[in-house]
Amino acid sequence: MDLHLLAATPTEEERVAVDAVLGSPETAWVGGERAPVDGHVARGGREARDRRHLLLPALHALQASAGWISEGGLNYVAARLTVPPAEAYGVATFYAMFSTTPSPPRVLHVCDDIACRTQGAVQLCAELERSLGPEGHGDAWTWRRSPCLGLCERAPAALLQRSGAGAEDVAVAPLGVEHVTALVVDQDVRPSEPVGRSVPQAAEARDTLRLLRRVGIVDPSSLDDYRANGGYLALRRAVELGPEGVIRELKDSKLLGRGGAAFPTGLKWELVAKQAVRPHLFVCNADESEPGTFKDRILLEGDPFAVVEALTIAGYATASERGYVYLRGEYPAALEALARAVDAARARGFLGADVMGEGFAFDVEIRRGAGAYICGEETALFNSIEGKRGEPRNKPPFPVERGLFGKPTGINNVETLVNVLEVLRVGGPAYAGLGTADSTGTRLFCLSGDIERPGVYEVECGTRLGDLLGLAGGVHGGRELKAILLGGAAGGFVGPGDLDVPLSFEGAREAGVTLGSGVVMVFDEDADLVDAVLRIARFFRDESCGQCVPCRVGTVRQEEALHRLVSGRTIGSTADEIELLGQIALVMRDASICGLGQTAASAVQSAISRLGVFA
């Protein structure tokens, strides 16, 4: 509390937009007109504080209505939710998709991240600068450089953020410079390619697909179509098995989480299910933001009911009655598909007070991120849902004990959850027969960069890197391979000599690399790796949440040292700078509280040690 509201007032449009999310204000104390009764009674306190989680949805509404979050609009939201304006401002400024300075109603975010750079994003931006003027200028519309938008298979990519009447964001990929004027001025948005195109295996090897088997086949908007293709059989199987049976199957399957930490999924679910504190909550982490990653988007766009079904099974098995999907803010098509799927599932009784008539309750709420890489970290994600800055929490306590809203929370990413459907379809032991002994099942890989057929590929764990490249047709145009970025910006580079690395957790560990989020970004013989390394360093400097010192300072110092190396204005010798980079990497890895800081130097270090970039 201790609200020190400002005198600034919202515009009518802003008020309407916020009220559409929060409902009309009931009293003057939450932003309504003053009535005589308000002088004698007010309700608030815990009830008001419990609405804090609506802050991000309300800010989204403001951003969509005006293209930016004005002082008056922010003040109104602060009053509506009894959040101090300074704190609301702190949240608004944390997320890249929110602007707290006036911004035109149409903003074209042009990706200039590593994958798109291999496909001419730098030249594209230069061309835009020349023909349209510098980024951030303009009254009716403008353009800006953006970190990875998760459209890497169709690079170079852009996202058109539109506010005002009919506000809607649209992903545009590939973006040709010749389209830009028609796009932002006339809003001539061309329909994007069907999502099935992003799964090249579907054409010739559909029978090898498990997680992707429905993508491009089913109508993502049709529950009936989903059911005609095996949908909701897994949930039925889960109910037959009972919660403990589901967890047993998962343990038998030896499924490990695909989010990066490779935690056994069955064990995690069991830990949540056993917590005495109620309620339990379950979160689907769909904040896929690792540069070069787009597999979850393909699943969400192409087979959204699978995610809803898998989350429902998680809720059933862990005795959670409420599920959340935290969806990356830059995924408008996935949002639309998922929202439609949730509505349809609810309308048909697959969500709600009595799921499938089986006597258990479960419902799903979709929460949209707002442009913050860090929110993929699970505790930062919880804070974001709670309406706070997406800053990670110290662990322990772990989410299974105290997660979202301080309650026992299970959290899995999209790919892990969809694997659960497969486990229940074939049975835990059979699933464990796929892949290797320690890395069971199949994995999704996001192939991008200089590759012949970019897209999402599904292979059994343990498949060799070279074979995966072969599936995708090898390096684009038959050129020579220079390097592969494995695992994304938080992963590391490997060279042409590493093609026999098995793509399993233990295989990667042995080779000193990480699979991360399944990024396989290919750089051909002409690629500028120094440029890629600099872009990665810029990415981490930009995305560090700033909460803990090693990462806040380290990511800046790392980028500075790299620029000195590139410009030749080193402090001391090149070797001194490389040693300094090593020390910064050590400090960030050892002393940052979350994975962002701990991995912010991995790609840089691997480029130096494996590829000898600055040698």
Partner 1 sequence: MVGLATVFGAGGGTTSYREVEETDLILLWGSNAREAHPIFFHHVLKAVHRGARLMAVDPRRTTSAEWADLWLGLDVGADIALANTVAREIVSQGLHNTTFIEHATTGFDEYRASIEPWTLERGERVTGVPADAIRELAHAYAKADRAVLCWTLGITEHHNAVDNVLALINLALLTGHVGRYGSGLSPLRGQNNVQGGGDMGAIPNKLPGFQDIEKDLEARARFEAAWGVPIQPKRGWHLSEMFERCGSVIRALYVIGENPATSEADTTRATGLLAELDCLIVQDIFMTKTAEMADVVLPASVSAIESEGTVTNSERRVQRVRKALDPPGNARDDMWIIAQLAGRLGFDWGEVTAESAWDELRSLSPMHRGMSYGRLEELGGIQWPCPDEDHPGTLFLHGRLWLDPPEQGPLAPLSVVEWEPPVDELTDDFPIRLTTGRRLTDFNTGVQTARFSSPLRRGETIDVSPEDAASLGVSEGERVRVTSRRGSVEVPVHVDPGLRPGLTFMTLHFPDEAQTNLLTVDAWDPKSGTSEFKATAVRIERLEQPVEA
What residues line the site for partner 1 (CB under 8 A)? Answer: 1-3, 28-29, 34, 36-47, 82
We find the least distance from the C-beta atom of residue 70 to partner 1, in angstroms, to be 21
We find the least distance from the C-beta atom of residue 50 to partner 1, in angstroms, to be 11
We find the least distance from the C-beta atom of residue 387 to partner 1, in angstroms, to be 16
Nearer to partner 1, 43 or 563 (CB): 43
Nearer to partner 1, 29 or 398 (CB): 29
We find the least distance from the C-beta atom of residue 2 to partner 1, in angstroms, to be 6
Nearer to partner 1, 1 or 140 (CB): 1
We find the least distance from the C-beta atom of residue 84 to partner 1, in angstroms, to be 10
Nearer to partner 1, 4 or 569 (CB): 4
We find the least distance from the C-beta atom of residue 74 to partner 1, in angstroms, to be 18
Burial readout 425-451 (b: 16 or more C-beta within 10 A, e: otherwise): ebebeebbebbbeebbbbbbbbbbbbb
We find the least distance from the C-beta atom of residue 40 to partner 1, in angstroms, to be 4
**What gap in Å lies between CA 234 and CA 215, rounded to an integer?**
17
Burial readout 20-55 (b: 16 or more C-beta within 10 A, e: otherwise): ebbeebebebbbeeeeeeeeeeeeeeeebeebbbbb
We find the least distance from the C-beta atom of residue 271 to partner 1, in angstroms, to be 24
We find the least distance from the C-beta atom of residue 365 to partner 1, in angstroms, to be 23
Query: Sign (positive/negative) of CA torsion 173, 176, 179, 185?
Result: positive
Nearer to partner 1, 40 or 569 (CB): 40
Nearer to partner 1, 36 or 359 (CB): 36
Residue 320 contacts residue 272 (beta carbons within 8 Å): yes
**What gap in Å lies between CA 363 and CA 595, rounded to an integer?**
30
**What gap in Å lies between CA 451 and CA 118, rounded to an integer?**
10
Nearer to partner 1, 12 or 33 (CB): 33
Nearer to partner 1, 1 or 165 (CB): 1
Extract the tokens encoding 257: 């989480």
421-427 contacts, C-beta under 8 A, 24 or more apart: 421/234, 421/306, 421/309, 421/310, 421/313, 422/210, 422/211, 423/249, 423/250, 423/253, 423/255, 424/234, 424/237, 424/238, 424/241, 424/246, 424/249, 424/313, 425/230, 425/233, 425/234, 425/237, 427/249, 427/252
Compute CA 512 distance to the chain's CA centroid, rounded to the nearest angstrom: 25
Nearer to partner 1, 35 or 140 (CB): 35
Residue 61 contacts residue 74 (beta carbons within 8 Å): no
Nearest to 56, CA basis, from 406, 389, 547, 399: 389
Question: First and final CA of the chain: distance in angstroms?
Answer: 56
CA distances from 176 to 182, 373, 451 (A): 11, 26, 19
**What gap in Å lies between CA 333 and CA 297, rounded to an integer?**
9
Which residues lie across from 364 on neighbouring strands? Answer: 323
Angle at 170 between CA 167 and CA 171, to 5 degrees: 160
User: Hey, how many other C-beta atoms are within 10 angstroms of the C-beta on 178?
Assistant: 9
We find the least distance from the C-beta atom of residue 41 to partner 1, in angstroms, to be 4
We find the least distance from the C-beta atom of residue 397 to partner 1, in angstroms, to be 16
Write the Ramachandran bin of 338: left for phi over 0, alpha for psi from -120 to 50, otherwise beta. alpha
Extract the tokens encoding 91: 């949240």
Phi first, then psi: what are they for 357, rounded to 5°? 65, 15
Nearer to partner 1, 8 or 353 (CB): 8
**What gap in Å lies between CA 177 and CA 110, rounded to an integer?**
11
Nearer to partner 1, 49 or 137 (CB): 49
Burial readout 482-496 (b: 16 or more C-beta within 10 A, e: otherwise): bbbbbbbbbbbbbee
320-327, strands of its sheet edge to edge: 363-368, 320-327, 280-286, 409-413
Nearer to partner 1, 3 or 262 (CB): 3
Nearer to partner 1, 1 or 615 (CB): 1
Nearer to partner 1, 5 or 549 (CB): 5
Residue 85 contacts residue 6 (beta carbons within 8 Å): yes
We find the least distance from the C-beta atom of residue 9 to partner 1, in angstroms, to be 13
We find the least distance from the C-beta atom of residue 1 to partner 1, in angstroms, to be 4
We find the least distance from the C-beta atom of residue 88 to partner 1, in angstroms, to be 16
Nearer to partner 1, 38 or 363 (CB): 38
We find the least distance from the C-beta atom of residue 44 to partner 1, in angstroms, to be 7
CA distances from 19 to 6, 163, 344, 566 (A): 19, 17, 25, 51
